[in-house]
Structure formats: C-alpha cells, structure tokens
Structure 1
Amino acid sequence: MQSLHLPTERRPDARTEHVPPEGIGGRHRSYATCTPAELLRALPLTPAAARSVHTGRALVRRVLREEDDRLLVLVGPCSIHDVEAGLAYATALRAQADRLADDLAVVMRVYVEKPRTTVGWTGLLPDPALDGSHDLDRGLRTARSLMLAVAEQGLPIATEWLSPAAPAYLADLISWGAIGARTVESQVHRQLASGLPMPVGMKNGSAGSVGVAVDAVRCAAAPHAYLGLDPDGRPGTLRTSGNPDCHVVLRGGAGRPNYRPGDVRAAVALLAAAGLPTGLVIDASHGNSGKDHERQAQVAREIGAQVAAGDTDVRGVMLEGFLVPGRQDLGPGEPVFGQSVTDACMGWDATVDVLADLAAAARSRRRTAPAAAR
C-alpha cells in the first residue's frame, strides 16, 4: 500500500487566533491558514498530475458534447475520510479504468467536503482529524496531497464544490466538479461554476426539482463578476466568461427517483426548452436508490439498460463505492479500513460488476445509435 507523506511546512502564524470586534465578527473566531499561493508553492502541480487533469477534462468535455461515444462514470467514496484507503481505492480503480477504457471514461470521486442537512462530520478538508478540531490548514494540505497522489496515478478527479474558497486551493487538480442539491439554487455557487476550468454538474434540488438545476446551468453559462479571493488570499473582484460545459445531474429527491426513461425525457425537454445541450448525468445513489447501497447497483443496471437501448442523452452515471460495502459510525474502536463514514457505498466487488455492465451498455449503444466521433 502506498504511503502519503504530508508536508509539515506551516506559516508561523498558522494557528494565530483572531477575535473580531463585537458587531463585525459576532461570535466567530478566525484562524489564519495558508493562502492559495502558499499551498500551491508547497504542493505544486507535477507534470504527471497536470497531464492527468488536462486529459481528464478534455475527455469529459468530449463525452458530454457527444463527440466521444463512451459513457462517463464518476465513481468513488461518498467522502474520503482515510487517505490510505482512498489511495488503495485509486490504485484498484486505475486498473479497472484501463481495462474498460474503450467503453468508459472513468473519473474518481475524491470528495473532501461533506454537505450536511443538519450537523455531522463535514469532510476531510474542514476536519481532517475527524474529531471536531477543524484544522483547515492541515485539511487543505491533506486534501491537496491526496488529490496530487491520485492524479499522478493517471486518474481524473471529481469533487463537489461546497466552500466558495476551496477552488482557489484545489481547482487545478479537478477534471469534473459538482454543485450539490443543497447549493444548486445558491447564486454564489452558480457564479463560482461560471468561472471554473472544468465541466460542472448541477444536481437537481433536494426536493426533486430539475428546473432549478436547469436554471443553474443557464446562469453558470453566462459571464459574472463577484467577490472572491486572489492567489495571495486577498479579496478581489473575480470576472468570469461563463462555463459552457455545465450540465444537469439527476439524483432523485422528495422520496422518489428520477432516473427512469420518462424522467430523463422530461429533463431533456426542460433543457431543450431553455436552449441548452440535452446531455446529462444520472446519479445512481442518493434519492435514486433511497440511499440503499445494495439498491444502487440495480439502479445503475437500469440506467445501463437505457444506454444500451440507444439513449444518447444519458452521457454519464455517478456511483458511490468504496472498498467495503455499507457504512460505519466513528467511535472508540478501530475503524473498518475502506468503509464509508458518511453515506453507505457499494463494495469493491459490486463496483467491478457494475462497471463491467455499464461498459457492455456503452458497447450496445454504439451498435444501436449513430457512432459519435472517437
């Protein structure tokens, strides 16, 4: 198993506490962390990682634009909490990605922020020790080190953008990004997506509305100007030219799935009415499987059946999988290596089977639908 050695360099004031005056910061306390420029100097993008990112972005764009007839598969843990387990998963996934490369464009989920409906562990980036200490300086370094190691294996990376500040530290490593169901109506996240240098999937709202995701795609395709951070951590006006590669992700909601043919046709009609490209991604987890990791494999196969029947609007599938099936709660005992601590995930054996089935579906579509340029 690979070992990941994190840099120990820290700014002299990395844990300096700042107590804002009453009326400005209220009850907040802030701690200085490294700036984006400092982190990128400490953990620069290597040539191997840069090739992986560039190749991954180009491949995802081609698939989403129907210039490549492979099926995009975004697969990996709900949220990575253990760096070593994440790297072990990446090594195994790289072998499957190579084996199925004629039919699938495989991108690994490396999710380091976990959105919460109420409270709970919020991810490797904000809480790398998993104990509520919230050492963001360590979290940023841990997240970037992990992503560098995955990219250097040749795997493109997917992640969800939750904190608007995170892309300044990590975006150069990402080939596909997501705006989640809880934030898809946020103007801040739509503006953020408009300036990101990778394709971005807009999930339908947590109540099930696909219309809000279509609105988000339209918004992110337009230019914007908004307040953000420059590489040295100073606030400034960020101006974007719009992101032409945003798209809808169907993930179910309000107690019902939306991955079946009728749901896909309804989403395609909304996109077409808005004058947008009709290609979309379907999430086999979350509301589409009722968060049942065993049900997820069946949902993925039903999506694959639509692909095999010739549906060219389904450009990608999202899967939540880890080394060990299910989930575990953090506690005093030794955790299970490679098992999720957030949403339950498919195990490795089930993931391999589903990937093979999706590859077969892509081959069948190639025979039944007009061939896209390779």
Structure 2
Amino acid sequence: MRVIVNQLAALGAKTGIGHYTVELLRCLRQQAGADQIDSFPEGWVRRGREACARLRPRLEGKRQENTAKKTGPMVATLRSQALSCLRQLGRSVMAQHFRLVSSARCYARPTVATVHDLSVLLHPEWHPADRVAHFAKHFERGLRRCTHLFAISEFGRQEVIRHLNIRPERITRTYMGIRPGLRPLPREEVARVLKPLDLPPSYLLYVGTIEPRKNLLMLLRTYCSLPGTLRSRWPLVLVGNWGWNAGEVAAYFQAEARHRGVIHLGYVADALLPALYNGARALVYPSLYEGFGLPPIEIMACGGAVVASTAGAVAETAGSRAHLIEPYDTDGWRAALDRVLRDDDWCRSLRRGVRAVAEPFTWDQCAADTLRVYRSLCDKATRTQTLPLPEPGKPLRAAG
C-alpha cells in the first residue's frame, strides 16, 4: 500500500493542525512496515509554501487577489506533484489530513480527510471572509471526493455526523497525541530554560493563537480585575501569535493588560514548551469552541493544573481532572483564577492524577488507528465510493 499525505499544514509556524500533520507523518512512517508513506509538496513548492506560512499572520483577512495570481504556478505544480504520485501503480490512498480535497480532478484512489472542526460552517463570524468564502466554494465538492473521514475527538465526530448527515461508519475518531518531551522536569532545568525569557518562578499560562474563538478578551479583563498583589506575584503569560481579528484584544493588551501583569511572548519554539508548561501555576484555557484542544492535555502530561472552559472537546479530553467553567461565566472565571492563585491545596488537587489522564493520548495510537483505516480502504476496494451529500439547494447544517 502507498499513502500520499498532504503536508501543507506542517510548513511554517505550527498550530494544532500543523503539529497533528508532523506527528502523524512521523509515526505513520515508523509503523508502515512494507507500506510506503509519501508526502507533498516537495522542492521549491515546499520552500515557497513555508515562506507563505511564515507571513500568514500578517496577511490573514486581507484582500489577496494579487497573491493568488502570483501563487497560481505554485498551485499548479502542487497539483501536478500530487497527481504524479498517484499515477504510480499499486494500491494507494490519498490523505488530506488538514483540508478536504477541492481539486476538480478525480484522483481515482481512495481519498481520506481529517475534519478538525466545523467552526467555519457553524461560526463563520470567527473567521476571515476569504476563508469562509473558500470553505463555501470547496467544502461540499471536497466532501464528495472523500471515501472516509477522520475526526480528532468524539465531540467532533458527532458534529460531523449531525451537521453533515454522514453515516457513522464513514467517520473514524483518532485522538491527537502528546508530543515528545512533554513531561515533568526538574526545577533547575525549568529555571535554566526560562531564564532568557525573564519570567518569574510561577505564572498563569495561556497557549494558543489569539483569535475570536479563544475568548481572550474575557480572560484579560477578568485577570486584570484581580487584586494587584496576586497579579504582581503571578503574571498571565500569553504564548501564541496574534491571529485574525485580534484588534480588540491587542488594543486592550496595549492600553491596560500589559500594565497589569499580562506578558505576551508570541510564538515560541517547541523546545521551550515543556519548560513553560512546567513553570506554570496553571494553564487557563477559556476557548469558546475546540475540536480537540491540545494545550490542556499537554500541560497535564507535564503534571500541571488546568482551568478551562466547557466548550467543545475540552470536557471530553481533559474534563475529568480540569476545573471547567462556562466560557461566558465571568464571575466563575474570576473566582477560579483567584482561588488557583491563593489556594495551594486546591491547586495541588488539580494536579493530582493529571498524567494518567494524558497518558492514553499518543501519536503512536493515532497513527495505528489511521493506518488501520488506510488498509481497510485498500482491502475493500472502496475507491469509487463517495459520501452522501444533502440534496441540491439544501444547507449542510442539519435542522435544529
């Protein structure tokens, strides 16, 4: 069996989907045995896409007609590379683990895709207009191309079944995993790694892109309302790039939050994350919606405490040991932040048993479950089957 994986999401600065692609590819290749795992793009197309990915935070949400014209040859070459891979003889699977296939051409091979979440469909207000338009243009056609789908949580799987009218046997849940190196570290090592960042011995931590669905404005305002004695001892450290439509959060950060104990580190190298997680008093994660939510599970792997929202898959993955609060409950969030900083016993109780919660989430298991589906698709010769679509003119979202 030969598998060709689209690795576009792994190029440039990585968020959750990028890490998913990198780690899944790594483990697929380790477990493939006699099977062949290839990826595209390669060569100058890959280097060009990496450059574009690094610039994306500055460009997202802006008009990009000129960019689209300039990248036309790159897109054509990307399609050519994919089709060239697929012309090889033998059993093969086309894997799009970050975006549904939208090419008008038929790959004539079993095609799979991972639906990480449905936020563009269910909450278009959280995304730039060009992304929403691209989704509206290509999503249904991409769905038609797919033989099978993956979801990264049971919450996400049930959303796809419910809103897209997909039969349950056509979508498999494969949980994301913990990256290598995320484990409890000695205090001396944490202090040494974090010294160049000029951070105090302990702090509250947020990890993720700063964008509307992450609910950061609520978090900043709530944190800034805490007594100054708490804020001076435990600053709130934000790790992540400014995303689309973060202007209101950025304005509040500049005018108020940075003067009240909030530190924005921006995007940090993966090598720093284990120490950042280990040094935190607790992770605070107030997201409005998550298809999985990696940071809560990652800090649990390091033995850390989690205060998170009830939104999306967070309750499914981390909820058994995290303290969960409704995302819009500002009084609840203020009480939880105050308590996690003042009450050492409660903070220790939040850390108790967290590593056992994180332990089942491994990239090896994700790859094993994914390979099982690949092999099943080839063995059953299902490459001509397609997913059922709603009737023409009817929306993808299910009624009610």
TM-score by length of 1: 0.26
Which structure has the highest helix share of the two?
Answer: 2
Which is bigger in relative contact order (C-alpha 8 A, separation at least 6)? 2
TM-score by length of 2: 0.25
